[in-house]
Chain A
């Protein structure tokens, strides 16, 4: 083929950029309340669970700080995975017409959506934690850069699982229902409400295979100088995320035909 490597990278860049901007416009340009709704979900989670937890136990979290920022950290770790997964999973379905442009391949749409959703989440959680710091409910992290890796891993895992799901659903429709039931478990096992070290050893052993719990433990360890999770296995997490991404790209390439013809 006459298309060189650099042209191909260049085209990929243009396609992703065009899709990203379209996604932003689609979500925030037409409805005036678009950005407001992006804030509602995480804020509502944090509010409801903080009130519940303080009614059931106390307003102090296992780490000594107020319960609200503690839960917010868990929600942030969880949503970086879950929201990205959901948006990537639905990416092709809601951009079906764009696939008829010869320059646009499914991966461009996945990546465009990824960028849009990550940018949204970054803005939302920056605002939320700025508020916590300003009101004195939490201290700013001493080394914010340490948060980048665990959050990036959460995003990449969401991206990979989103692509895997999008592909599997095209082949086997019922997968969507199975996944959405099974993934409810993530909410309760990903450490939004607890830290792993406080759990009985039996449960810790079972939850070892939940990558999302490693992510939230890592985020909290990175935030607080005085807390270092004993549960966290960084190597296991990085391996899981890498394998998931590899599997996602392999599946996407292998079943691209089926996905394109089903969508």
Chain B
């Protein structure tokens, strides 16, 4: 369960304040995968970070009792001086898993070769994405938070991600931010639009998509 209770979030920059959430009360349905749509700067990434707990709302609370992944995205959760191997060790200790299995899985998934033992600061963005995605697939999360990660990487990597995720769709959901309509369609069965501090859920992904397209044209 992920439930927002009077969640308020506002940013003030250069004297101008911007609403991300104006008091949201909502429970995200279990068993559905949600694609979040919205303008650049509507606060989609902040929303994802708030769901993960890396940021907190200004007022209100977000209740969660699922095993939620860290936000998979550009902003690395893995420090630059960690190698792929270090990251695997860290995650297996954090989630109390067998490190050998994690390392084996991630090495196989990420195809980093010898780079697996190098500091991640020397990785290309595609390599970083392969490592983070592989690492998150090694842990059996109930809900995956994805912030545009599949935008990097070639089509082969994209197909691999989708295949890996489809395998665990039975018991894992995804909450995703992406500007690519195709990616959202591949992963999600439900849409949400974040605009001007309001989050609206749409049971029908197509409806959300066409509404969003209309919003963009205005």
Q: Check if A97 sits within 8 Å of B78, measured CB to CB.
A: yes
Q: Check if A100 sits within 8 Å of B75, measured CB to CB.
A: yes
In whole angstroms, what is the CA distance A79 to B90 when docked?
29
Interface flags, B64-89, vs A, CB<8A=1, else 0:
01001111000111110110001001
Residue ranges of A at the interface with B (Cβ–Cβ < 8 Å): 1-3, 10, 14-15, 17-18, 21-22, 25-26, 30, 95, 97-104, 256-257, 260-261
Evaluate whether A260 and B70 lie within 8 angstroms (CB atoms) in the complex, with A17-B93, A98-B79, A104-B94 already known. no
B97 to chain A, nearest CB (A): 10
Contact residues in B for A25 (Cβ distance below 8 Å): 86
Stretch at the interface among B47-55, B179-187, B193-201: B47-55
Contact residues in B for A100 (Cβ distance below 8 Å): 49, 52, 54, 70-71, 75, 77
In whole angstroms, what is the CA distance A257 to B49 when docked?
13
The reply to whether the CB of B63 lies closer than 8 angstroms to some CB of chain A is: yes
Q: Check if B93 sits within 8 Å of A21, measured CB to CB.
A: yes
- Chain A binding surface SS class: helix
Q: Check if B96 sits within 8 Å of A14, measured CB to CB.
A: yes
Contact of B77 among A10, A97, A257 (CB under 8 A): A97
B145 nearest CB neighbor, chain A only: A102
Q: Check if B77 sits within 8 Å of A98, measured CB to CB.
A: yes
Contact residues in A for B89 (Cβ distance below 8 Å): 21
Interface centre among A2, A25, A95, A261 (most CB of B within 10 A): A261
Q: Check if B70 sits within 8 Å of A102, measured CB to CB.
A: yes
In whole angstroms, what is the CA distance A26 to B90 when docked?
12
Within 8 A of A (CB), among B89-125: 89-90, 93-96
B57 to chain A, nearest CB (A): 8
Q: Check if A26 sits within 8 Å of B94, measured CB to CB.
A: no
Contact residues in A for B79 (Cβ distance below 8 Å): 95, 97-98
Contact residues in A for B65 (Cβ distance below 8 Å): 1-3
In whole angstroms, what is the CA distance A22 to B88 when docked?
11
Q: Check if B94 sits within 8 Å of A15, measured CB to CB.
A: yes
B90 to chain A, nearest CB (A): 5
In whole angstroms, what is the CA distance A44 to B56 when docked?
44
Residue ranges of B at the interface with A (Cβ–Cβ < 8 Å): 49, 52-56, 58, 63, 65, 68-71, 75-79, 81-82, 86, 89-90, 93-96
Evaluate whether A260 and B94 lie within 8 angstroms (CB atoms) in the complex, with A30-B81, A101-B77 already known. no
Q: Check if A14 sits within 8 Å of B56, measured CB to CB.
A: no
Across the A-B interface, the 3 shortest Cβ-Cβ residue pairs: A18-B93, A100-B54, A18-B94
List 23 A–B pairs whose Cβ atoms lie within 8 Å, in order of A's numbering. A1-B65, A14-B93, A14-B96, A15-B94, A18-B90, A21-B89, A21-B90, A21-B93, A22-B86, A22-B90, A25-B86, A30-B81, A97-B79, A100-B52, A100-B54, A100-B71, A100-B75, A101-B70, A101-B94, A102-B69, A103-B95, A260-B55, A260-B56
B93 to chain A, nearest CB (A): 4
In whole angstroms, what is the CA distance A210 to B56 when docked?
37
In whole angstroms, what is the CA distance A7 to B75 when docked?
29
Contact residues in A for B90 (Cβ distance below 8 Å): 18, 21-22
Contact residues in B for A102 (Cβ distance below 8 Å): 52-54, 68-70
In whole angstroms, what is the CA distance A101 to B145 when docked?
11
In whole angstroms, what is the CA distance A106 to B83 when docked?
23
A215 to chain B, nearest CB (A): 34
In whole angstroms, what is the CA distance A257 to B10 when docked?
13
Evaluate whether A26 and B81 lie within 8 angstroms (CB atoms) in the complex, with A17-B93, A100-B71, A257-B58 already known. yes
In whole angstroms, what is the CA distance A26 to B58 when docked?
33
In whole angstroms, what is the CA distance A260 to B57 when docked?
10
In whole angstroms, what is the CA distance A99 to B70 when docked?
9
Contact residues in A for B49 (Cβ distance below 8 Å): 100
In whole angstroms, what is the CA distance A190 to B96 when docked?
43
Q: Check if B68 sits within 8 Å of A14, measured CB to CB.
A: no
Q: Check if A261 sits within 8 Å of B78, measured CB to CB.
A: no
A104 nearest CB neighbor, chain B only: B94
In whole angstroms, what is the CA distance A7 to B183 when docked?
36
B123 to chain A, nearest CB (A): 14
Sample of 14 more A-B contacts, CB < 8 Å, known A97-B79, A99-B54, A257-B56? A1-B65, A14-B94, A15-B94, A18-B90, A25-B86, A26-B81, A95-B79, A97-B77, A100-B49, A101-B70, A102-B68, A103-B95, A257-B58, A261-B56
